[in-house]
Amino acid sequence: MNNDQKERFRRELADKFIHLLETEKIEWTQGWQSGNLTPPFNAVNENQYKGINRFTLTLTSMIEGYDDPRWVTMNQIQDKKETYHKGEKWHLKAGSHGTKVEYWYPYDHENHKPLTWDQYKKEIKNGRDRDEFLIYPKYFTVFNASQIEGISPYEKAIDNKDVSIDNLVKKLSESMNVPIHYDGVGSAFYRPSTDDIHLPRPESFYSSAEFNGTALHELAHSTGHPTRLNRDIKNLFGSENYAFEELVAEMTSCFMSANLSDVDIGSFNRFENNTAYLQSWIEAIQNKPDALIRAVKEADRATNYMEYKVGIIPESEYKRQNSLEKISTGKSTSHTSEIENLSSKLTSFAEKYDPYEFKDIETAPGQINNMTKQDLAQNITEPYKDYLNSVLQDSSRPDIKTEALDIKNEIEALEKSQTNPHPFRMHF
């Protein structure tokens, strides 16, 4: 794939990301399977554990490293009447510790006897009052199948030997000095404190695309380390800053996927799941339109860094991009005063006129105020000219049209005076 194709692919993805809020909500699916992905269930009756029991057993599996979702009681292990597992002799391994689960059951206070939930529902349906029953908890100790000798092996749903680790992932890990450990039971994560990545086994992923996309996501997180791009990555789970970093990492993973050896840009089929993942995190960010645009810019920055580290773009190009970034943050530019003045005019104008009819008119000036200085410094002007053209087309007020035309003329004058347009343009 040549550079033009990759650049076009990246721009198209960026545009889709920015319009995520207009996309119908999609359900995200995890790209790998492990014992913990299969809900814990009883090995004898095959009933799945639910609620707090499911949470407790899943957490225990993660802590202890169990990759078998089956659990049994001591009574089922002993099976003195040989009714649970005929032909098999089960023995609990020495030193094994059980996990408590709870079972709530209805008790008929009037008739002094416990009921099944089906019996309870039937009694209520027949007209009895709920106050005639009490709900009691009963506790059991269960053991994971990994703790039992003699139990038949669990047939895992996935053991995909066709999953391959792309050379891009290997080179990024090596060049960025970020080790990847394939020890995650049911999770994938980057740990800032040790600057390393933990992933499930490659063969537990549904495809090479899912594995490499996940690896690129975690490698993208690592670009935020203080020794690299120094983003704010140590945040409380579920917070706005945590959610923002997830957006950056997933977008970066998508951008970097264009460099994978086996990706087919024409039929890139992971985007729907990427979209679902991004949607799940954008819900945690209040100022959503602005956050999406900022996340795309940070992802672009991270992608440039990663491409530089593996030699996809030369050092001279990366330095040129860094100089543009310094310009965009106002550290050096001969047009600073013009950009400041023009940015203020755009922000003030947005407060007076809102062509997109936002429900909350503060969204428009807030978005423009945060972005225009950086964009104008990089000669990214098309979104603002589109904005002003919509005003000129829609407004019936001469004063508004005159002001919009004046600002548009100033933008075009600024365009002519700047000589280094940024190659990556994002559109609202």
For residue range 124-137, what is the model confidence (pLDDT) as tens digits? 999 999 888 888 88
Q: What is the pTM of this model?
A: 0.49
How would residue 285 be classed by pLDDT, with cut points 50, 70 and 90?
low
Domain boundary pick from 273, 291, 309: 309
282 within some domain: yes
Amino acid at 371: M
Give yes or no for a contact between 14 and 296, defined as CB atoms under 8 angstroms apart: yes
pLDDT given at position 67: 78
33 within some domain: no
127 within some domain: yes
How would residue 140 be classed by pLDDT, with cut points 50, 70 and 90?
confident
427 within some domain: no
Residues 195 and 299 occupy one common structural domain? yes
122 within some domain: yes
Distance in angstroms (rounded) separating the CA atoms of residues 422 and 377: 9
156 within some domain: no
Q: pLDDT digits over 387-406, tens only?
A: 788 778 877 778 888 888 88
Residues 258 and 285 occupy one common structural domain? yes
Residues 48 and 22 occupy one common structural domain? no
Could you tell me the residue range of the domain that residue 47 belongs to?
A: 41-149
Q: pLDDT digits over 325-369, tens only?
A: 654 454 444 556 777 788 778 777 776 665 444 334 444 445 555
Residues 261 and 219 occupy one common structural domain? yes
158 within some domain: no
pLDDT given at position 305: 92
Residues 140 and 169 occupy one common structural domain? no
- What's the total number of domains in the chain? 3
422 within some domain: no
Residue 261 pLDDT > 90, yes or no?
Answer: no
Residues 385 and 238 occupy one common structural domain? no
Domain boundary pick from 103, 121, 149: 149
Q: pLDDT digits over 292-334, tens only?
A: 777 778 888 899 999 999 998 888 888 777 765 654 454 444 5
Residues 322 and 297 occupy one common structural domain? no
Residue 55 pLDDT > 70, yes or no?
Answer: yes
pLDDT given at position 216: 93
Residues 304 and 321 occupy one common structural domain? no
Residues 197 and 174 occupy one common structural domain? yes
Residues 222 and 334 occupy one common structural domain? no
Residues 169 and 303 occupy one common structural domain? yes
Q: Which residue has the higher pLDDT, 288 or 98?
A: 98
Tokens, residue 248: 């950056």
Size (the chain), residues: 428
Residues 171 and 140 occupy one common structural domain? no
Domain boundary pick from 293, 309, 325: 309
